[in-house]
Structure 1
Amino acid sequence: MSQYKHVLIAVDLTDESGQVIEKGKAIAERNGANISLIHALEPLGFAYGGDIPMDLTTIQEQLEQHAKAKLADLAAPLNIPQEQQHILVGVPDSEIHRMAKDQGVDLIVVGSHGRHGLSLLLGSTSTGVLHGAKCDVLAVRIQKDK
């Protein structure tokens, strides 16, 4: 088995994120690896096709601040320092790949939702991370009854 040196845990900030973090943390601890957390926000303009006749900057900033606070709450029990908590704005799988490359990550941990078919099994972001990653990817099956 590979010895991982840097584990990147990608979370969606839902209640199930803890399951993904627990698995990533366990692997990092067994390998003596650094841990980084990432959450990628799609720009609001993407969600609405860029056709909104108003400035969404303030709303986007509020979403980023909320995400930052939520990620900090998830990181606190793991003692993950703020400089290893990343909120990025962009296409999630692309931002995760970029972060992995820039930080020398050798394992990305993401959640999967256990539906049918590969893209449904992993979700579109997880599938994108899996297919474009230059390092190992672990998909953690989310348990709804936890």
Structure 2
Amino acid sequence: MLYSKILIAVDNSEFSEKAAINGFKLAEQLDATVALLYVVDTSKAVANIDTGVYPEQALFLLKKEAEQTLNKLAALHTGKEVVKFMPQGIPTKDIIKTAEKWEADLIVLGTHGRTGLMHLLVGSVSESIIRHSKIPVMVYPSK
């Protein structure tokens, strides 16, 4: 199968940078259009009244972090222009939704490699994407 539109889902982790670099290399080899996606996780926009941070401010900071991450990672790509997506919502749902809307042929993402209790409590975005995506998913391991 030929991949012409590759969607790389990222966050601000080192694992995402590794996935982005490898996704960019693949896109260059295939002469594919590439997009970076950072889902602003609205569940993390919580208030902390003790420190004076309200939900709107927390969301603003999360969006700023997402924008900086997208720009930093996009600068690593030497090929065609990078399309950037920054929806607000739930990563596991919005990665798949964006891939389908953009008509991506492949989703590329990294994994944090959590195991045991952390994996059970936090869950795995990568695992959920693999289970629910209708298009191929390429996961770069943390190690």
Equivalences for 1:50-65 in 2 at 5 Å? 55-65=54-64
In 1, Cα distance between equivalents of 2:25 and 2:16: 14
* 1:127 is the counterpart of 2:132: no
- Shift in Å, 1:29: 1.6
- Shift in Å, 1:71: 1.5
Equivalenced residue count is: 135
Partner of 1:66: 65
Partner of 1:34: 33
What is the TM-score of this pair, normalised by structure 1?
Answer: 0.79
Closer, same or farther: CA 47–18 of 1 in aligned 2, 3 Å: closer
Computed over aligned residues only, the root mean square deviation of the Cα atoms, in angstroms, reads 2.6
Amino acid at match of 1:128: S
In 1, Cα distance between equivalents of 2:66 and 2:47: 24
* 1:139 is the counterpart of 2:139: yes
Q: Which stretches in structure 1 are left out of the alignment for 5+ residues?
A: none
What SS does structure 2 have at the residue aligned with 1:16? Answer: helix
Over the matched positions of the two proteins, sequence identity in percent amounts to: 27
Partner of 1:95: 94
In 1, Cα distance between equivalents of 2:32 and 2:89: 27
Amino acid at match of 1:3: L
What SS does structure 1 have at the residue aligned with 2:86? Answer: strand
- Shift in Å, 1:26: 1.9
In 1, Cα distance between equivalents of 2:3 and 2:73: 22
- Shift in Å, 1:114: 3.9
* 1:22 is the counterpart of 2:27: no
What is the TM-score of this pair, normalised by structure 2?
Answer: 0.80
2:21/2:76 contact within 8 Å kept: no
Amino acid at match of 1:67: A
